Structure 1
Amino acid sequence: MADLWHLIGGICITNLGEKRHLFQFFHEVDIHRVLAGTPWFFNNRLLILQRIPNGEHPAPLALNFTEFWIQVHELPPRLMTETMAK
């Protein structure tokens, strides 16, 4: 992922267990670029990224939400509404 992200300040990745990893960035620009570029996938798996507030331990954070785009082909115009999208 570090090669894909083209980071300025580098990264430290720590395995926290239970399919969780801590990504520690060393430059604020890198954090903003990675979070703005979501969704990210690795080995066909969606990465759910969340910024950790200072002083908090990452293990108890609930990682159950992320935004991503989907594309629907041949949808009739009458169904192209915000309600249908939700």
Structure 2
Amino acid sequence: MDTRAPDPAVPAAGPLQTVAEHLFQELQEHFQALTASLNLRMEEMGNRISDLQKNVNDLMVQAGIQNAVKEQMVRSLS
């Protein structure tokens, strides 16, 4: 909350201003919670993508096509 002393030049907060400030505080808290939730989900998704990439690479090695793919990429870059 705001811990500043009230400005004597500004009239005391009316009920509408109090309600607006309360609403703004609630919106800010909900936005922060949503941001934290999205960040967590993105991190989880990144971990899953990394795991998937590792599994695909492992399967390609087991199938014997990993070296063929690398050779093909080197040839296309040349």
- Fold shared by both chains (TM-score > 0.5): no
TM-score range, shorter chain: under 0.3
Greater per-residue strand proportion = 1
Higher helix share: 2
Q: What TM-score, normalized by structure 1, do the two folds share?
A: 0.21
